[in-house]
Amino acid sequence: TNWSQYQQHFGNFVEGAYLPESVWGYFNNGGTRAYIVSVKTLGAAADGAKGLPAKATVTAVDKSGDVLEITAKAGGPAGNNIQASVKPEAAKEEGADATFTLVIKSGSQTESFPNVNLKKGDKQFVETVVKAQSKLVDVKVVAKDTKLAPAGEVHLTGGKVETKAVTILDYQGELAARTGLGGIEAIPDVTMIVAPDLMSAFQAGELDGKGVQTVQTAIIDFCERTRYVFAILDCPPGLTPQEVYDWRMTVNYDTTRAALYYPWVEVSDPMKAGKTHFVPPSGLLAGLYARVDETRGVHKAPANEILRGVVGLEVNVTKGEQDGLNPVGVNCIRSFPGRGIRVWGARTLTSDPSWRYINVRRLFNMIEASIERGTQ
């Protein structure tokens, strides 16, 4: 129901994965509840693979190089939720060893190690103290005899489980295993579906363009079969307006139960301070849908609304380009001077003019689902 709860169960942001940023963008744009469904079971891990632990470093003040390397005890993405901070302590007397307090946080759990130092063999040597007392991390001194930076908190990063390359069957999943689309089928109150990491699999070469089309077709078929779920689809990255038009005509989706958005959006990179990068917009759009549902009602089109957290676009679409894309069901995200970055389109992917607009389809979904529940 919120970003903190997601972090507690699934960890923090992960390099190369769009799901965490999509979940954050979902809640930032007004989403209130999200279900996270894996496309793999634990048995899909690569043979012999172990969870890679998250790490972070604290840097010295008076020379370059890392002083402390902090590593999560447990492997996997949960370690990405750990934060570490160092506070130097004033020397009690001239020539005394420099001491500091190391604080480790993970959710509501906090560990504090006061009066530790970098002197190997000392009873307060930071490696020895942390190894004996911490349930969360291990510490290694990789540069000695130097002062510690009075820096703020650092996040451990890089925790993950190495798995085999994702396949189309992984996305289809199994109902019994609660994975992929099968896992979503087991959740009765789902009304929207997004798959942002379909694009990370495409970028990693695990799926080609035909594979992306096959998975998106499976998502559409799922929505048609279950009747009350609406899919928000991403286009591949790096396409020009003409290329996304050609791609749309090639995949040739024809459904009232899905919408396609272009281009990718630019957001702050949570893994690199001060940097930005492009992400698929589907997760943010799901949050916007939820916000409009709450403030205006399902009957209101999720368009002419600001996308929160977006600082730029991969392509600045012109009015003329949109005039060519909108009729074929490509909803554009555009930047307007003085008005921000807004969703500027609300079309489904159908050729049936009666179901052309997203709000019409979703309103009838809500009404039909309510009638069905009331007559059971």
> Helix, strand, or coil here: 146?
coil
What is the C-alpha separation between 79 and 53, in angstroms, rounded?
6
Instruction: Kindly state the tokens that stand for 25.
Output: 């963008």
Euclidean distance between CA atoms 17 and 220, whole angstroms: 23
Spans of all domains in the chain: 3-35+187-374, 51-160
Asked if 372 contacts 237 with a C-beta cutoff of 8 angstroms, the reply is no
pLDDT in tens, 317-361: 999 999 999 999 999 999 999 999 999 999 999 999 999 999 999
Compute the average pLDDT of residues 58-76: 62
Alpha helices, H only, the chain: 3-10, 19-28, 126-133, 168-172, 180-185, 197-203, 209-226, 241-251, 282-295, 319-325, 358-374
Quote the pLDDT of residue 40. 60
Q: What percent of the chain has pLDDT over 70?
A: 85
Q: Higher-confidence residue: 312 or 97? A: 312
CATH architecture of 3-35+187-374: 3-Layer(aba) Sandwich (3.40)
How many angstroms separate the CA atoms of 84 and 130, rounded?
12
* Beta-ladder partners of 175: none
Q: Percent of the chain having pLDDT more than 90?
A: 62
| pLDDT band per the 50, 70, 90 thresholds, residue 43 | very low
Q: What predicted TM-score, i.e. pTM, was given to this entire model? A: 0.75
Average pLDDT value over all residues in the chain = 87
- Whether residue 45 is predicted with pLDDT greater than 60 in this model: the reply is no
Spatial separation of the C-alpha atoms in residues 122 and 216, rounded to whole Å: 60
Q: What is the mean pLDDT of residues 234-252?
A: 98
Question: How far is the C-alpha of 191 from the C-alpha of 301, rounded, in Å?
Answer: 16
Kindly state the average pLDDT of the residues 35-39.
89
pLDDT of residue 16: 83
Buried b (16+ CB within 10 A) or exposed e, 289-307: bbbbbeeeebebbbbebeb
Q: Reply yes or no on whether the pLDDT at 289 is more than 60.
A: yes
* Residues 333 and 313 sit within 8 Å (Cβ to Cβ): yes
- C-alpha 80: how far from its chain's center? 13
DSSP category for residue 14 = -
In whole angstroms, give the CA distance from residue 86 to residue 179.
41
Q: Give the mean pLDDT of 103-128.
A: 88
Choice among 15-24, 71-80, 131-140 with the minimum mean pLDDT: 71-80
pLDDT at 49: 45
Decide: 332 and 345 in contact? Cβ < 8 Å: yes
Is pLDDT above 60 for 58? Answer: no
Whether residue 41 is predicted with pLDDT greater than 70 in this model: the reply is: no
Q: Looking at domain 51-160, which of 2.60.40.4290, 3.40.50.2300, 2.40.10.340, 3.30.420.10 is its CATH number?
A: 2.60.40.4290
Q: What pLDDT, on a 0 to 100 scale, did the predictor assign at position 56?
A: 65
- pLDDT bracket for residue 83 (50, 70, 90): confident
